[in-house]
Amino acid sequence: MHIASLYRYPVKGLTPEILTAAQLSPGRCIPWDRAFALKQGDAVLDEANPAWISKMNFMCLAKNPKAALLRTRFDDATKMLHIEGPDGPLTASPLTPDGQAALTAYFTAFLGEETRYGSEGQAPRFHFFPGHSFCDHKTQVISLIGKASLAALEEAVGAPREARRFRANLYLEGTKPWEEFTWLGRTLAIGEVEMVVQERIDRCAATMVNPDTAARDANPVKELRTHFGHIELGIFAEVTKGGEIRPGDKLRLL
């Protein structure tokens, strides 16, 4: 089995970026994965000591499906975020106060009535905290999906289900359907990299959103439950030994 494709998602809920390589470190996600997020005004987030909070506190596809209409790209070399959307383009630094203010204004204008404010008028705010990831897991992990499992879902429902709905970091070729569920507690090796499989991934309403049209045109959570008796697709794994990974790299179980 091997890595078929490799992705990161710099802004929580927004565009996947396909990678030709990623340098992994113990206890960390892929660099710049979920590094940025728009916190809604009614979210409770300790900015001095940011910790995990639910995705529902942020702009996210589960609550804001039209966010799929935005196209974003983070440039590693310039550290600039480029956005194309219905309201026009924007290029700004997600790392500076001025850039974050511009990004806050852009995203809140785009959300319109979906913008949420706190009980005392707290406004949304675009955030970046060095070393922090706004991922859906309480610790920093890598998400993996065996393409055979996705194919099993597609066969059961008789329709394609675009892999981008599930927002994994690694898509794997050469596995059997649902084989990755048997790896819990096991160590995966990819070259010199090692990662321990933590848990299966529960799926949510974000998977209903078509990544091209932003329409809620399928219900993978219901489909998984109906056909397979669970709502899970993919696994989370924590990196325990770092190194570089690339598409085409083979995986092995230790």
Rg from Cα positions in the chain: 18
247 and 144 housed in the same domain:
yes
153 and 249 housed in the same domain:
yes
pLDDT at 121: 87
CA distances, 8 to each of 107, 164, 167, 183, 230 (Å): 20, 11, 8, 23, 26
145 and 198 housed in the same domain:
yes
Q: What is the CATH number of the domain that holds 213?
A: 2.40.33.20
Residue 231: give the domain boundaries: 2-28+137-253
Q: Global pTM?
A: 0.94
When pLDDT is averaged across residues 180-195 and rounded to a whole number, the result is 97
What's the structural domain count of the chain?
2
pLDDT digits (tens, 9 = 90+) for 193-251: 999 999 999 999 999 999 999 999 999 999 999 999 999 999 999 999 999 999 999 99
